[in-house]
Chains A and B, each alone.
Chain A
């Protein structure tokens, strides 16, 4: 942990928390339909969409209609994205001439983007046309995020309203999230990113002459494009010389801006935000990592405003921030300590004026240790999943940090909307636990928490571990699962655990060594992503409907106030306890044992 590293991380949190109130205030006005400054520009477009859709802005929905609308919209999106990938060869804006994406991969990618996961089994610059990236992935980056925000707002209305049958209008929430919040922020961020060197062009790939031609072993291919094997079964190679460098470019900045703001995380290029065209400078890195947590953090303030007590929002934000701050030092220490095997080879890993030092395998020089660790924690605390370093090459404990943060159920900031509605569910469980201790009916924000709400909350926290651990177990004991492993030993188990933790929590980051573009991982992963997203969304809306119907209970002397430090500690305790009890045994088999092996070598 260097002084400068701590200053960078401190600066990050100061800027992030300073933006919570203004943005949160703005979003509350958007959702309450009050003037917010952009009405004159966006309003006509918004009303045109409603007219074409045949919906009235004032139409209210009960929770079931809201859920049906949400599911229909996402189902249509899933189908459209699948079709677009399968037929991209027939469409324009495909300068590299990419053909149809394989069915299992197309299903996985469609599920991945519709569920706001952005798990990438494909390589962006080698598989997808510009048109697919724009009309498919980029659109889902916006609308999957807007879907999460809509569900959150419906839940907040459930908490805020009393004796009401309805929780708002899905179409208004969806359209307003997109047009008033995500689009303006993305426009601003993408231009800032281009100024730093992120590419934004529709030209085909550029070619540059190498200063020093590079000789390399070129794999020999047969007529079908398959590698030819020699007598030992190894791919045959022939000496070759590269004299040119093909530079993959494209309309990247517009996609990267929304990938961060919408906690999507799907990169334009294969290595995501480690790619110099996707994240060229420390300043672009700062903006992107800020964008990852910006909307999830600010939504806490929006919640506070909409329920008429901003302390409630700050309390949830405090719990999230404290949890994240607990993990960053562990990651910093692990990565800065470096790899003992490197020290044995006589390599200098100490931090000094001339180098950041530490475990630099899979990391970029311009980011060093501090920015790589901050990013890995932020991207997994939020369900973003973009990376600026390769998590598979992290030290065991450096890799445990992102893994464990995902396994908390993506409620430490979490996805836009989805993170906060997950955290509200944990808050309901926390007041229930507190209620059990003193023998009182629990209340949250003036609403009595009764058996129906607790059933929905329990359903919510149970499904994720079943999906994650269930699929990890299946992968661990089947050939189709283990044959994709890249790194041997316990690290290989970590790769599978990470994959399903990521997909089962709609995160999207990966231990990239695992070969996930196989029918097994594409199908099981696609199912895991769909279950995690919609199994959470539907009971959350049911909860919203049930809460909206309730009367407001005036706070009495026995009411547990849910904005005090005591409640924040209780909430953190519940989140950590549920996460730890569920996942520590699995973590012991992966990163923990690998750490012990590494230091004892």
Chain B
């Protein structure tokens, strides 16, 4: 047993230095050279100031903006320093109540919307930071946003389709709309 003690300690130190220090430093070095934007959080800069990340959603509840997925982070939605899902189970009454409240908020903002309500617009995302909504959820909100901004629905719809990403390589993932990018584009129109 004594003879195995030295290799146990020495190999732990050696492998710690290699996998714990050298490896992340090498990856960081290469990443910062090859992919500096992605490695630092894909920040969106306006006049040099960060206004968000193209990968992280932001909270919206004004009628003139598209709303993102409901977020379960605390103490405020889309808190990107403490990601969290709701963890509410499918038969939990608290889930049903929360969903009902979201439906009410959407109906209050746009009372006689005839479109079916897409499920991703009223359910909390896994991370609480989901930057995307489904194209159906964007379509549901076009009328409200157009009215609040005094724009043609067709113009808003066109902007939505410009910001709709398809499946990667035509196969992977789901079609989606980046909410922050879309709202920033709306603001620059005016």
Contacts and interface: CB of A to CB of B under 8 A. Distances in A.
Interface of A: 4, 7-8, 11, 45, 49, 52-55, 65, 68-69, 72-73, 75-77, 80, 123, 125-126, 134-136, 138-139, 141-143, 171, 174-175, 178-179, 183, 186-187, 190-191, 194-203, 205-212, 214, 216-219, 240, 242, 245-249, 251, 253-255, 257-258, 269-271, 274-277, 280-283, 285-286, 338-339, 341-342, 345-349, 352-368, 371, 387-390, 392-396, 486-489, 491, 494, 511-513, 594, 597-598, 601
A123 B7 contact: no
A76 B41 contact: no
A138 B24 contact: yes
B126 A390 contact: yes
Interface in B131-186: 131-137, 139, 167-169, 171-176, 180, 183-184
B105 interface: no
Given A271-B127, A355-B134, A491-B92, A365 B69 contact: yes
A216 B52 contact: no
A401 B74 CA distance: 30
A594 B21 CA distance: 47
A395 B89 CA distance: 8
- 9 smallest beta-carbon distances between A and B, as pairs: A282-B173, A354-B136, A274-B126, A513-B87, A368-B174, A487-B89, A348-B116, A355-B134, A390-B85
Contacts, number: 415
Contacts of B20: 134-136, 138-139
Nearest to B24: A254
B88 A361 contact: yes
A512 B61 CA distance: 27
B27 A251 contact: yes
Interface of A: prevailing SS = mixed
A139 B4 contact: no
B125 A341 contact: no
Contacts of A247: 41, 43, 53, 56, 80-81
Given A187-B26, A210-B59, A211-B180, A487 B88 contact: yes
Nearest to B69: A365
A206 B4 contact: no
18 contacts: A8-B172, A73-B8, A80-B12, A199-B39, A201-B41, A208-B53, A211-B58, A214-B77, A270-B82, A283-B169, A352-B136, A355-B119, A356-B120, A364-B127, A366-B174, A388-B126, A488-B92, A491-B90
Nearest to B120: A360
Interface in B24-62: 24, 26-28, 30-32, 34-35, 38-44, 49-62
A195 B35 contact: yes
Contacts of A139: 15-16, 19-20
B91 A597 contact: yes
Contacts of A274: 83, 85, 125-127
Given A73-B12, A211-B52, A355 B117 contact: no
A598 B91 contact: yes
Given A53-B11, A139-B19, A247-B80, A365 B27 contact: no
Contact of A486 (B7, B34, B87): B87
A511 B89 CA distance: 9
B16 A393 contact: no
B55 A248 contact: no
B125 A364 contact: yes
B80 A365 contact: no
Contacts of A174: 11, 15
Contacts of B27: 187, 190-191, 194, 200, 251, 253-254, 257
Given A277-B53, A345-B96, 10 more contacts: A211-B187, A271-B84, A271-B127, A352-B136, A353-B135, A354-B139, A371-B172, A388-B126, A389-B126, A390-B126
Interface of B: 1, 4-12, 14-16, 18-21, 23-24, 26-28, 30-32, 34-35, 38-44, 49-62, 65, 69, 75-93, 95-96, 99-100, 103, 116-120, 122-137, 139, 167-169, 171-176, 180, 183-184, 187
A147 B93 CA distance: 45
A362 B92 CA distance: 14
Given A218-B75, A357-B119, A361-B95, A201 B39 contact: yes
Given A212-B62, A355-B118, A361-B86, A248 B28 contact: no
Contacts of B171: 4, 7-8, 11
Contacts of B8: 69, 72-73, 75-76
Contact of B11 (A141, A171, A349): A171
Contacts of A368: 173-174
Contacts of B40: 199, 201, 203, 206, 249
Contacts of A395: 90
Given A183-B19, A512-B87, A209 B49 contact: yes
A436 B67 CA distance: 65
A201 B30 CA distance: 11
Given A212-B65, A216-B76, A271 B103 contact: no
A143 B8 CA distance: 12
Contacts of B77: 214, 216
B135 A354 contact: yes
A202 B96 contact: no
Contact of B43 (A206, A487, A488, A594): A206
Contacts of A269: 83, 127
B89 A491 contact: yes
Contacts of A201: 28, 31-32, 39-41
Contact of A69 (B7, B43, B122, B130): B7
B13 to A, nearest CB: 9
A284 to B, nearest CB: 9
B124 A242 contact: no
Contact of A77 (B12, B123, B128): B12
A194 B168 contact: no
Given A274-B127, A390-B85, A348 B117 contact: yes
Given A187-B27, A342-B119, A214 B96 contact: no
Contacts of A209: 49-52
Contacts of B24: 134, 138, 200, 251, 254-255
Contact of B136 (A338, A355, A363): A355
Question: Among A141, A338, A362, A598, which residue has the most Cβ atoms of chain B within 10 A?
Answer: A362
A143 B81 CA distance: 29
Contacts of A392: 85, 87-89
Contacts of B53: 206, 208, 247, 276-277
A136 B24 CA distance: 12
Nearest to A12: B172
Contacts of A8: 171-172
